[in-house]
Amino acid sequence: MTLAEFTNGLFVGSNPNQIPAESVNQEKIRCFVAIEIPDAVQALLASVQEELGKNIRAASWVKRGNIHLTLKFLGEIASNQINEVKNVMERVASARPPFSMEIGGIGVFPNLTRPRIIWAGVKTGADEIVAIANAVDIGLSRHGYERDEKQYRPHLTLARIKHRINVKPLAQMFRQYDTILGATVVVNQIRVVQSQLRPSGAVYTPLETCRFKSRSTTEYNRRRL
């Protein structure tokens, strides 16, 4: 995701919402808030990665199972703050019904001539995702977390590029994936996920799950039929 796409962390300041001093000595956990992607869609994206990788060899591709949509990167927070984050997420999730997110379109950050991130975009459901990300951001800011300065753009990181390359000649190939058949996700929950950086790659572990409660997934699926 993706990245470091986000550079937000925590601060201890003088405002009334500052992070409690007792949190400073707690065990630190590197984590983020995200929408997870089901395995069937992960498999589709892995196929896209494989095809792109034939022409982009300088990239480090996100492993199947690790592709996700980041809503907010928290950085390293004290373990006793996880429940606080969960409470904010529950308030956000309980106010929203499930919705459908369609993944499609390949792009890069910052540009084609010097890309650092290769990502898959969101074709439908983007407005809902932006609203959720903004609500999480605002909710956590009331507990001392810094607001994201950059405008949120929903995407799924597929690869990171460490060496300078030019992928502009591949723009036509990218357009082949404007639509990825079957890459649709019913979004009915958000998660706090721990990120452990290891030599073999990042290991992601779900810590908390907050489900949308406005109406059940069963009812949502029935109305779609």
Q: Tell me which H or E stretch contains 202.
A: strand 201-211
158-172 core/surface letters (b: 16 or more CB in 10 A; e: else)? bbbbeeebebeebee
- Which percentage of the chain shows pLDDT scores above 90? 79
pLDDT at residue 215, as a whole number: 60
* The CATH number, out of the four listed (3.40.50.2300, 3.90.1140.10, 3.90.226.10, 3.40.50.300), of the domain defined by the range 21-224: 3.90.1140.10
Q: Please give the structure tokens belonging to residue 136.
A: 């999480």
Angle (nearest 5°) at CA 140 between 139 and 142: 75
Whether the predicted model's global pTM rises above the 0.85 cut: no
Exposed (0-12), middle (13-18) or buried (19+): which is 136, by Cβ within 10 Å? buried
Mean pLDDT computed over 103-123: 97
Q: Is the dihedral of CA 197, 186, 210, 17 positive or negative?
A: positive
pLDDT at residue 8, as a whole number: 32
pLDDT in tens, 169-200: 999 999 999 999 999 999 999 999 999 999 98
Break the chain into its structural domains and give their ranges: 21-224
